[in-house]
Amino acid sequence: MPDPVDSKLQEKLSRRLRFYEDLGLSPFYRNRHTAGMQDSSATLASPSESIEESPLPKSSAKSPSAPNAYVSQSAVLPAAAGPSLFEATNKMPGDTLPIVRADLGECTRCKLHKTRNKIVFGDGSSRADLIFVGEGPGADEDAQGLPFVGRAGRLLTQMIEAMGLQRPDVYICNVVKCRPPSNRQPEKDEVEACSPFLFRQLDVLQPKVIVCLGATAAQTLLQTNRGISHFRGEWLDYRGYKMMATYHPAYLLRNPAAKSEVWKDLQKVMAELGLQVKKNKAK
């Protein structure tokens, strides 16, 4: 007679393996006892699958306008200083934001830890229907340990309020949790090391809508290297969550004319969430 506990564990493991398949992690390999050691054999997928250098395989690179257009194929073990990707993306029943944050710890999984002041994990309601995902912290965020608190953050706050919400009603986070030097774009190894924690945040929050602010966030979740202009303003699917990509507030500070495009995107989000469209939009 099989032990009933074993069958439950088997079912959990099956669900977990399906989750990894969604992430493109195949074949699957792990040795818990060597997870903390430098071991290139533990790589779960080739770094050549990175979002910046390689488009999706043709078989999975569907039209971005189609439902379930993309699935995440993110895919290498984080650096040896922290838990493996198995642990990093291991959304356990009962996973919570504090647990994800605790697993992140005083992270040294990528080189961004060398220049950061504070890890910027995320901020907002753990029951939010709406999540904004940006690229990475800037100088103000790095100093305060909070996302979107500089000039771009103030614009994002205006946008949120124009939607009839307040910042505490939503959740805000970034692809990478440490500031890239001189606000450069995060590099592929940095995204690969940090994004599993974003994936876990999203799974814990289970939002109705994810709004990606800028190309890096959208490309990370969609696992594409296509420019944001190809799919901005369209409804997309990230592992069953409705997702909209729009321009980053920092881009709007440089290109104010694009605000009207962003406002159109946010109006679609508002309609999806059943929010009233207000006459006065973000200026």
Contacting residues toward ligand SF4, per CB under 6 A: 104, 107-110, 112-113, 119, 176-178, 190, 193-194
Closest CB 168 distance from ligand SF4, rounded Å: 24
Instruction: Report how far residue 116's alpha carbon sits from residue 70's, in angstroms, rounded to the nearest whole number.
Output: 32
Residue 66 CA neighbour count, 13 Å, CB half: 8
Alpha carbon distance 233, 162 (integer Å):
18
Given the complex with ligand SF4, which of 174 and 246 has the nearer CB atom? 174
Long-range CB pairs of 123-126, under 8 A, 24+ apart, other chains included: 123/147, 123/167, 123/171, 123/172, 123/173, 124/167, 124/168, 124/169, 124/170, 124/171, 124/172, 125/168, 125/169, 125/170, 125/171, 126/96, 126/97, 126/171, 126/204, 126/205
To the nearest 10 degrees (0 to 180), the angle between helices 259-273 and 151-162 is 50
CB of 190 to ligand SF4, least distance (A): 6
Smallest distance, Å, CB 175 to ligand SF4? Answer: 9
Nearer residue to ligand SF4 within complex by CB, 72 or 246: 72
Least separation in angstroms between CB 178 and ligand SF4: 3
Closer CB to ligand SF4, 121 or 235, in the complex: 121
In the complex, what is the shortest distance from the CB of residue 173 to ligand SF4, in angstroms, rounded to a whole number?
Answer: 11
Distance in Å, CB of 92 to ligand SF4, minimum:
20
Q: Are strands 241-246 and 235-238 parallel, antiparallel or unpaired?
A: antiparallel
Two tokens, residue 273: 């969430």
